[in-house]
Structure 1
Amino acid sequence: MTQHEDTPVAAGTFRPSRRIFLRGAVAGTAATAGLMATGAAPAVAAPGGFPDYRHLKPLLTPSRLKYNPTGEIIFPCIRGVYDKLANPLGRYYLYYAPHDAPGGICLAYGDSLEGPFTEYPANPLVSNDWQPHYKVSHVSSPHVLWNEDVKELWLYFHGENHTTRLARSKDGITFTYDRTVLTRDMLPAGTSETSYARVFRHDLPARGARYVMLFMINNQSNHRDIAWGWSKDGRDWTFAQQPLIRHSDVGVNNLSGPHLLTRGGSTFVAYHTGKENGGNILISEVGNDFSRRDHLGVLYDSGSAAPENGRAASPSFGTDRGVPYLVYEAGDRLGGSIAVARG
């Protein structure tokens, strides 16, 4: 697919989604029947030339997991490891975590992005007490980056909500603590949360950077925005002192769960809104140098029926044998499952 170019929009404006929804089902078609079962209307166009992701099924449900301290899980991160690790447990590693105390960074593995995924029997891989490095109420929001420079999986995770940490692994299971990479003290005074970070390999030559971090930021206004930073090595970071995407830019109360995407020679950020503002995954074009602010609207529209119940969040994207997939939180905050949609 290529980007839509028929409707130019000035940078910094909000453009409602270009998706068109078919309100009437066509009887007898498997695709339509599957979509209607989730309460989602089938989409025929997505913004920016991206796939029309359609819900398939849950992949992980808390009640079916051995490690289940709080009855909830969040923030999936899917990684293909079949071509990176020697003797992996499966082609794909799916990292996730409970959020509430004690949390814990967890792993499931499988041979297809459509599942099934098997819970790693010794979860959590990383706990809320890792002496002498830290002891916190909880650790959560795992994002794992394959660092080609050192042939390692780098795990970024938060604990507490104002601190993001880095751990490193040769096998994706056993991690060595590295350092703190982000705290609220690195952002303007009054910042209360800096969490749900994801890190991506992305060149910013003008800044001397090869990595970009996206994360959620909150302050005394109690409206969450998307913030960002850049780094030459993924360890030492510089952070923009103003949000990359503000909640007010797209007319909602809160934004979170950002993910970087590239397509058609440009760069985009996908992120989710709160359920009170539709519970959807939106997308904005920021350009390869992060100078654009073209807000394109809904990338994935959450279904009203279970398991989504009007909320899709924390997107993680992958491709399995040429087919695009979206792995995400489906359902109420701290009351849902990890699900997959196919493009």
Structure 2
Amino acid sequence: MNEPRPGRRLFLRAGAATGAALTVGGLTAPAASALAPEAAAVAAVAATPGGFPDYRYVRTLLKPSQLKYNPTGEIIFPCIRGTAGRIANPLGRYYLYYGPHDAPGGICLAYGDSLEGPFTEYPHNPIVANTWQPHYSVSHVASAHVMWHEGLKEMWMYFHGENTTTRLARSKNGIDFTYDKVVLTTSMLPSGTTETSYARVFPHELPSRGAHFVMVFMLNNTSNHRDIHWGWSADGRTWTFDQQPLVRHGDVGAVNIGGPHLLYRNGSTYVVYNKDKGSGGDLMITEVGNDFSRRTHLGVFYNSVSSAPESGRAAAPSFGTDGGVPYMIYEAGDRLAGSIAMARG
């Protein structure tokens, strides 16, 4: 395990008491079992003043070379979801969605009973391919973010393909998905937008906008500098998008930023995202507030190290808490040459 590093703090909604509940991505379901006492002890030791966990790399969960479905030798954009209380007869307590980016891409699934791993590759990957007749045929599909829709008791998957278009598919079991619709395209953003992708969607109340869901995503334009944008929706299907960035790359001293994820602490809302420094990059955090009106840039959230598997780059985080122990599942390593890793708070 890496040595403690100053300045790496997580601003996260407080976890449930050990053994009482399972929280993944800010959503809560009953826990099947508590983590071992030693895992809980690690979390207690790692807690910083104010109760914020300090993430540290623990192990690699998935490597392309170990996967049966491996068309391009790379995988990106993990999304971890708990199945307890949601899916009947699941393959495991957790579903981990991921996949290659380059053509043909493909949305893939692995499953396991602990956020510590191991995860087993689903034998029939990809569960969503780059051709889905009669809905689309594209060069690639990638970056699946799966949200548990409590009201409908469904897993909703948002994924991109091409980089200009984000789509929605829905499932009762988290494996077999039904196509729904396009939810985001470059045409919905300002003129000159060339990419709208890597979207994540979260239940989030915005009473002033009549919204129950928010989306955060990466936008590129003709300047070839990527920013974080956002939108809101009453139903998760039809969206309105702010025409101005939520976080600008220049405001945080970056060439590009992307891979956003929402977190919550002390009654406020934060966005965590990867910062591209031109060669590698760290995870950064900005407080946006519950109404998304704030822009308080708080600096480094997770400082990647030069040694493998991070090799100076951490990106596209997804978060879970089991038995009060917080975890981060993320891309570790060079873009399109890395693995899916796990860090523990």
Do they fold alike, i.e. is TM over 0.5? yes
Amino acid at match of 1:244: L
Secondary structure at 1:288's aligned position in 2? coil
CA deviation map 1:91-139 (0-9, x unaligned) = 0000001000000000000001010000000000000000000000000
Choose which of 273, 276, 279 in structure 2 pairs with 1:274. 276
Counting only pairs closer than 5 Å after superposition, residues 43-62 of structure 1 correspond to structure 2 as: 43=6, 46=9, 48=11, 50-62=52-64
**Is 2:2 the counterpart of 1:35?**
yes
Task: Kindly provide the CA deviation profile for residues 221-249 of structure 1, in whole angstroms up to 9, marking residues without a partner as x.
Answer: 10000000000000000000011000011
Instruction: Tell me the SS of whatever aligns to 1:122.
Output: coil
Q: Gaps (5+ residues) in structure 1?
A: 1-33
Counterpart position of 1:137 = 139
Aligned equivalents of 1:120 and 1:309: distance in 2? 28
Partner Cα distance (1:176, 1:268) in 2: 31
Deviation at 1:61, TM superposition (A): 0.2
Offset at residue 274 of structure 1 (A): 1.4
Deviations 1:246-277 (A, max 9, x none): 00110111000000111111000000011526
Q: Distance in 2 between matches of 1:51 and 1:226?
A: 25
The separation in 2 between residues aligned to 1:78 and 1:46, in whole angstroms, is: 20
Structure 1 outlier segments of 4+, above 3 Å? 47-50
Within 2, Cα distance between the matches of 1:174 and 1:282?
A: 34
Q: Deviations over 1:189-217 (max 9, x none)?
A: 11000000000000000000000000000
Number of residue pairs matched? 306
Q: Secondary structure, in 3 states, of the residue corresponding to 2:2?
A: helix
Please tell me whether the aligned partners of residues 75 and 101 of structure 2 are also in contact (alpha carbons under 8 angstroms). yes
Give yes or no for contact 2:256–2:277 (8 Å, CA) kept in 1.
Answer: no
1:308 corresponds in structure 2 to 310
User: Structure 1 CA distance, aligned partners of 2:270 and 2:210?
Assistant: 20
Match of 2:36? none
Aligned-pair identity (%): 71
Matches within 5 A, 1:156-305: 156-276=158-278, 279-305=281-307
Cα pair distance change 1:275/1:109, threshold 3 Å: farther
TM-score under structure 2 length normalisation: 0.87
Over 3 Å counting, the alpha-carbon distance change for 1:295 and 1:330 in structure 2 is: same
1:321: how far off?
1.6
Of 97, 101, 104, 1:102 maps to 104
1:90 matched residue in structure 2: 92
SS at match of 1:76: strand
Please give the root-mean-square deviation of Cα atoms over the aligned residues, in Å.
Answer: 1.1
- The question of whether the paired residues in 1 share the 8 Å contact of 2:130 and 2:138 is answered with yes
The residue type paired with residue 175 of structure 2 is I
Paired residue for 1:5? none
Contact (CA 8 Å) 2:280, 2:334: kept in 1 or not? no
Q: Contact 1:275 / 1:310 at 8 angstroms: preserved in 2?
A: no
Q: Quick one: which of 149, 153, 175 aligns to 1:151? A: 153
The alpha-carbon deviation at position 83 of structure 1 amounts to 2.0
Check conservation: 1:258, 1:272, Cα contact below 8 A: yes
Answer yes or no: is the 8 Å Cα contact 1:113–1:325 preserved in 2.
Answer: yes
Alpha-carbon distance in 2 for matches of 1:289, 1:46: 23
The one-letter amino acid of 2:286's match is S
User: Which residue identity does 1:95 align to in structure 2?
Assistant: Y
Q: Per-residue deviation at 1:42?
A: 2.8
Aligned partners of 1:302, 1:85: CA distance in 2, in Å? 35
Q: Output aligned runs, 1:324-343, within 5 Å.
A: 324-343=326-345
Larger deviation: 75-84 or 163-172? 75-84
Q: After superposition, give the CA deviation of every residue in 1:45-102 in whole Å (9 maximum; x if it has no partner).
A: 6265532100001000000000000000000000011221111000000000100000
C-alpha separation in 2, matches of 1:278 and 1:267: 26
